[in-house]
C-alpha cells in the first residue's frame, strides 16, 4: 500500500535537525527527487530512510547549490544522481506537476541500473493516490499491509525490507 502523506508529515515534523552525517561503509545512499512544495514530506521520507540506515541526499540541503535554479543546478543534480547508489522519486501531486522531477527520473533512467530506481507512491488525506504513472516501469518503496517499516518491491511484486538492501 502507498505511504500515507500524513505519516511522512509526522516523521518530518519529529525529525531531529541533526547535520548530515558522513557515509558509513556499506550504507546505501539515495538521491531523493521531490517537489520543493513537499519539503516536510521529503524530510519525513529522509527520516524514515535514515532510521533504516540510509543516507538520503536532498538538493536544497546541499550548500553548493545555487540560490536560483540554473545550468549549474542541473549539473549538480546530475552529479548527485550519478554519485548516489539509488534514485528515489517521491510521487505526490506536486512532483507529478513539477518541471524538474520528471526530468530527474528521465536522467536517472539513462544513468542508473534499472534495479536502483524506485518510486515512492503516496496517498494524500483525500484518498488520492500518486505514483501510478511510473509504478509499472520502476521498482517501488512502500509500506507492506499489516507491517511496520518500509519494503522494496520489484516490478514483479517481490519484496524485501529496505533495511536489508
Q: What are the structural domain ranges in the chain? A: 3-14+28-164
For residue 33, list its beta bridge partners: 89
pLDDT, tens digit, 9 for 90 and up, residues 125-142 = 888 888 877 767 899 999
**Residues near 48 by beta carbon (within 8 Å), at least 6 away in sequence:** 8, 11, 150
User: Which pLDDT score is estimated for 67?
Assistant: 86
Query: How far is it, in rounded angstroms, from Cα 127 to Cα 95?
Result: 17
51-110 pLDDT tens trace: 889 999 999 998 888 888 889 999 999 999 999 999 999 999 999 999 999 999 999 999
pTM for the whole structure: 0.86
Q: Which three cell numbers stand for residue 134?
A: 511510473
Q: In the CATH hierarchy, which fold is given to the domain comprising 3-14+28-164?
A: Rossmann fold (3.40.50)
29-44 confidence digits (pLDDT tens): 999 999 999 999 999 9
Amino acid at each position: 500500500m502507498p505511504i500515507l502523506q500524513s505519516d511522512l508529515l509526522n516523521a518530518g515534523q519529529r525529525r531531529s535537525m541533526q547535520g548530515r552525517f558522513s557515509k558509513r561503509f556499506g550504507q546505501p545512499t539515495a538521491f531523493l527527487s521531490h517537489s520543493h512544495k513537499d519539503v516536510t514530506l521529503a524530510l519525513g521520507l529522509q527520516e524514515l530512510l535514515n532510521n533504516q540506515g540510509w543516507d538520503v541526499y536532498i538538493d536544497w540541503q546541499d550548500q553548493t547549490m545555487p540560490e536560483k535554479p540554473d545550468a549549474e543546478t542541473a549539473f549538480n543534480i546530475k552529479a548527485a544522481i550519478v554519485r548516489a547508489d539509488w534514485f528515489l522519486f517521491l510521487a505526490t501531486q506536486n512532483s507529478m506537476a513539477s518541471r524538474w522531477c520528471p526530468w530527474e527520473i528521465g536522467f536517472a533512467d539513462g544513468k542508473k541500473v534499472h534495479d536502483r530506481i524506485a518510486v515512492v507512491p503516496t496517498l494524500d488525506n483525500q484518498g488520492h493516490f500518486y505514483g501510478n504513472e511510473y509504478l509499472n516501469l520502476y521498482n517501488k518503496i512502500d509500506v507492506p499491509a499489516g507491517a511496520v517499516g518500509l519494503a522494496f518491491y520489484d516490478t514483479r511484486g517481490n519484496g524485501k525490507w529496505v533495511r536489508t538492501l
